[in-house]
């Protein structure tokens, strides 16, 4: 029975599901779906019109968080959710912190403004857009990075002693920020930056980043530290 992830590969939510599947060791296919120019019948698959959706044979599951929990039950080994009650709650909280907090800020203000819209309109961002993105990073996003830096402490993983949904979810949208030319500065957020370096080198993340960088990653050259 085949697993198919539907959605644009550069979406942090789609990447999260693809990485999750790779960490589970589950082969899957990826079908590009642009939610802003969807194929006919897309609303029957995704009633809110959003990506990702997962096709598992004749079943469809929506929403990255729901999909990952479904996959955890369907393929329990290796587990990507902590067993301990409190650690489980912490992992879900960090997932929500990113999906409901970081992405709604960084998505439109960095990636959409500086990468996706310019690519679609073939018009480079103007100075006001660049300045607005920098301001969002410095004033709105930086406190979220401070929080992640504290949460990581000196540990390898955000929660518990092995990779979990929290690590995958946190690492995914920072790829988009990187494409937009933003990364947590090594001086101010050394632990977060080292964590991202480690995560992105994993066999689950690396091929996806390699696949999208030629298309979306031009601005990353601005990152100097
Ligand atoms: N909570 C959803 C969020 C998915 C989401 O917002 N996806 C965006 C792309 S990154 C989308 O489909 N946007 C199109 C729209 O909202 O119409 C999840 O985790 O899957």
pLDDT tens track for 171-224: 999 999 999 999 999 999 999 999 999 999 999 999 999 999 999 999 999 999
Share above pLDDT 70 across residues of the chain, in percent, rounded to a whole number: 100
**Token match 């100097």: residue?**
224
In Å, how far are 11, 20, 138, 159 from 200, measured between CA atoms? 16, 13, 24, 18
- In this prediction, residue 85 has a pLDDT band, given cuts at 50, 70 and 90, of very high
Ligand 1 site, residue 11, Cβ cutoff 6 A: yes
Distance 32 CA to ligand 1 centre (A): 14
Query: Above 70 in pLDDT, residue 144?
Result: yes
Mean pLDDT of 89-102: 98
Burial class (CB in 10 A: 0-12, 13-18, 19+), 65: middle
Reported as a single tens digit per residue, the pLDDT across 49-64 is: 999 999 999 999 999 9
Out of 6, 47, 51, 101, mutate this one to test ligand 1's pocket (max ligand atoms within 8 Å of CB): namely 51
User: How much is the pLDDT for 210?
Assistant: 98
Work out the number of other CB atoms within 10 angstroms of the CB of residue 210: 10
Mean pLDDT of 92-115: 98
pLDDT at residue number 170: 99
Question: Considering only CA atoms, which residue is closest to atom 19 of ligand 1?
Answer: 64
Distance CA 29, CA 101 (A): 29
Residue closest to 164 by CA, chosen among 204, 120, 113: 204
The pLDDT score that the predictor gives to residue 1 is 56
Q: Whose CA is nearest to atom 11 of ligand 1?
A: 50
Alpha-carbon torsion, ordered 179, 150, 224, 20, to 10 deg: -30
Region label for 122, one of left (φ > 0), alpha (ψ between -120 and 50) or beta (otherwise): left
The pLDDT of 8-31, averaged and rounded, is: 98
Kindly state the average pLDDT of the residues 154-183: 98
Q: Determine the Cα–Cα distance for residues 13 and 10; give it in Å rounded to an integer.
A: 9
């Amino acid at each position: 029975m085949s697993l198919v992830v539907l959605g644009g590969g550069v979406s942090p939510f789609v990447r999260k599901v693809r990485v999750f599947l790779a960490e589970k060791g589950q082969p899957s296919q990826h079908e590009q779906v642009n939610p802003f120019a969807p194929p006919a019948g897309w609303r029957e698959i995704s009633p809110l019109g959003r990506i990702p959706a997962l096709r598992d044979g004749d079943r469809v599951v929506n929403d990255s968080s729901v999909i990952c929990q479904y996959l955890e039950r369907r393929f329990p080994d290796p587990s990507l959710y902590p067993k301990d009650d409190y650690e489980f709650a912490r992992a879900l909280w960090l997932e929500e912190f990113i999906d409901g907090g970081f992405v709604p800020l960084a998505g439109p203000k960095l990636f959409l403004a500086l990468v996706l819209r310019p690519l679609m309109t073939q018009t480079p961002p103007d100075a006001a857009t660049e300045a607005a993105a920098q301001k969002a990073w410095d004033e709105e996003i930086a406190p979220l990075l401070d929080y992640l830096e504290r949460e990581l402490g000196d540990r390898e993983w955000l929660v518990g002693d092995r990779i979990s949904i929290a690590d995958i979810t946190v690492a995914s949208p920072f790829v988009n920020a990187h494409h937009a030319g933003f990364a947590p500065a090594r001086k101010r957020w050394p632990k977060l930056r080292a964590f991202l370096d480690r995560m992105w080198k994993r066999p689950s993340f690396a091929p996806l980043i390699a696949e999208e960088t030629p298309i979306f990653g031009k601005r990353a050259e601005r990152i100097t530290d």
